[in-house]
Amino acid sequence: MTDRVLTVTELTKHFDGLPAVDGTSFEVREHEVVSIIGPNGSGKTTTLNLLSGLLRPQHGTVVFDGTDITGRLPDALAAIGLTRTFQNGRVFGTMSIDDNVTVGLTPKLRAARPLARLRRIPVLRWIPLLAETVVALVRPPSVRREERETAQTVTGQLERFGDRLLPRRSQEAATLSYANRRRTEIARALAPSPRLLLLDEPTAGMNPAETDEVMHQLLALKRDGQTMLLVEHKLDLVMTVSDRVIVMDHGVIIAEGTPAEVQADPAVIEAYLGSRRGRAVADIAPSGATDEGDHE
Ligand code: ADP
Ligand code: MG
């Protein structure tokens, strides 16, 4: 196994002939935190959508842990250790925090999902569904053991967030504050212990105190060795948590390097500041910018 968790080569996605991601190549190594920054519309979310299987590239390849995963669907990717969160935050409003986080573990369930691989074969899809119904009714010891393990994993994930989520774990997600819904989503993505976690603007819409809290959680994950690819607007956070920063503009990578290298790069200053160039990039962190305009 190489220390390269992700290798992206010439990734390309056009919408109606307009390039959103235009031949980008980069890699993420084990235990690294890599951030993608860039102005609105520069192709950051599209990149994550291509990596996580929501979109299929017109050209290029994505190799994850030595396996070509280009075009594979999100649930298959989650099962092999690639999970994500969304720019707008996505939780199931009528489900409890517990159940939302448990959903993140579904692709990894073995006892409760016998013959899951047959699900991908349309004419045989009924066989795993029947088998799942039978084990759900009979609840053999293997299923009960798996349920206990799942509950423990969920509790462990909720504990990451101190008393933010644990006391509310049986509440419907729709009743939570915006920040707590986003924390729930992060817990769900982390539940299956992904080899690579993709985060699309995890602090979008959060106030400075909430942003700071998420930053410390990301730093704690980094200390645990969690490999992460982060899209984020708030440059203070990016510069604090990242080992490397990739800068996109108009679908292409215009700079890449350590936070210090990128901050000093004239092309980056130009892309962020336009005519107001000359100030340090960190000075213009678009605080509070939420950029909630997903296009999926
Ligand atoms: P970012 O996340 O960097 O703000 P996006 O990746 O969301 O940027 O968008 C990149 C470009 O692709 C933008 O011009 C956007 O309008 C366009 N785009 C993204 N998704 C779609 C879509 N589903 N259909 C058409 N255009 C899209
Ligand atoms: Mg985006």
- Cβ atoms of 166 and 159 within 8 Å: the answer is yes
At residue 250, does pLDDT exceed 80? yes
Percent of the chain whose pLDDT exceeds 90: 63
Is residue 280 in some structural domain? no
pLDDT digits (tens, 9 = 90+) for 45-87: 999 999 999 999 999 999 999 999 999 999 889 989 999 999 8
CA–centroid distance, residue 79 to ligand 2 (Å): 25
Is residue 83 in some structural domain? yes
Q: Is the CB of 20 under 6 A from ligand 1?
A: yes
How many domains does the chain fold into? 1
CA–centroid distance, residue 62 to ligand 1 (Å): 19
Is residue 214 in some structural domain? yes
Specify the DSSP element, H or E, that contains 47.
helix 44-51
User: Whole domain around residue 191: which residue ranges?
Assistant: 12-92+99-263
Confidence of residue 290 (pLDDT cuts 50, 70, 90): very low
What would the mean pLDDT of 168-191 be, rounded to a whole number? 93
pLDDT digits (tens, 9 = 90+) for 191-208: 999 999 999 999 998 999
Is residue 274 in some structural domain? no
Is residue 187 in some structural domain? yes
Confidence of residue 107 (pLDDT cuts 50, 70, 90): confident
**16, 46, 199, 294, best to mutate for ligand 1 pocket (most atoms within 8 Å of CB):** 46
Confidence of residue 187 (pLDDT cuts 50, 70, 90): very high
Please write down the HEC assignment for all residues of 113-166. Answer: CCCHHHHHCHHHCHHHHHHHHHHHHHCCHHHHHHHHHHHHHHHHHHHCCCCCCH
Indicate which CATH number applies to the domain containing 109. 3.40.50.300
Is residue 296 in some structural domain? no
pLDDT score, position 280: 44
What would the mean pLDDT of 89-117 be, rounded to a whole number? 83
At residue 93, does pLDDT exceed 80? yes
What would the mean pLDDT of 130-158 be, rounded to a whole number? 82
